[in-house]
Structure formats: structure tokens, C-alpha cells
Amino acid sequence: MALKRMDNVGIVVDDLDGTIDFFRELGLELEGRATIEGEWAGRVTGLGDQQVEIAMMRTPDGHSRLELSRFLRPSVVADHRNAPVNALGYLRVMFAVDDLDETLARLRNRGAQLVGEVVQYKDAYRLCYIRGPEGLLIGLAQELA
């Protein structure tokens, strides 16, 4: 049996509307929103009775998705948003963009902050990390060709 695809990456946030707006500005499309609750959902996550607002964001090519979640019940118990880039666990989401400078300018208007600096890797890429909504670590890459 073969792996078919990676379906989505999940990110837990406090401000769902603001995070949706930020990722829309980046270029993702809102695929849908829903409230997930009840005993069946808690059996999947191991959290018991839960209530979560979710938004599914899709990349323009339709191949990748972010699932943004805001937990109403139970309460959030940990916060990894301020962890440095060498912390264990999930690190960041990387997006390919056409124009890194233009994308940075738009996202700065939504509060994004550059983590280090924009660098060029050989003749292949311009890269940077930003902190987006709620301190989420996001990578941006412009292919040079």
C-alpha cells in the first residue's frame, strides 16, 4: 500500500479570522470553515469532548492545504510559537513565491516581521523566515531561474 499524498498541515491559533486574513494576503484561498465538536472528534484527537473552529486554506495550485484550528473546548495547554528555529518538533511552513520583496511588503502590512535577513542560496533561491500572525514561523522562497 502506497502513500497517496500529504493532505494538510494543522496550525492551532487564537485569532482565526486574523490568521485567515494573513494567509489570504499571502495568496492562499479559504476552502471552507466549520465547527467540529463532539465525542467522535475527541476519539480521534484523544481530547475527549471538544469544540474546535477550523478553516481550511488551499494553495492556488490546489495541492497543499493548511488547517487552521481555534480550540474552544478544551483550552489550549501549551504555546510553541516563540520557540527558536532550532527547537524540536514541527518548525515552519515554507511557501514558494514569485516575488519575495513584494510578498514581504504586503505581509509586513499585516504585521509580519523578518526573523533574520533575506539571503540568496547560490543561484537557486532567495529565502527568508518571517513571524506571521501570532508569531507563527513561515518560510518564503523565491526560485531564481
| pLDDT per residue as tens digits for the range 10-49 | 999 999 999 999 999 999 999 999 999 988 888 888 888 8
3.40.640.10, 3.40.50.300, 3.30.450.20, 3.10.180.10: which CATH number matches 9-73?
3.10.180.10
Give 49-74 pLDDT, tens digit per residue: 899 999 999 999 999 999 999 999 99
In degrees, rounded to 5, the angle at the alpha carbon of residue 74 between the alpha carbons of residues 35 and 84 is 95
What is the model's pLDDT at position 3?
75
Give yes or no on whether 9-73 and 93-143 have one common fold. Answer: yes
Determine how many CB atoms are found less than 10 A away from the CB of residue 11. 20
Enumerate long-range contacts of 50-53, CB under 8 Å, 24 or more apart: 50/74, 53/16
93-143 in CATH: which number? 3.10.180.10
Is this prediction's pTM over 0.75? yes
Give the whole-number percent of the chain exceeding pLDDT 70.
Answer: 100
- Helices 16-26/100-108 angle, 10° precision: 150
Give the residue carrying C-alpha cell 513561515. Answer: 138
Report in angstroms the alpha-carbon separations of 76 from 26, 60, 73, 108, 111: 26, 31, 8, 27, 23
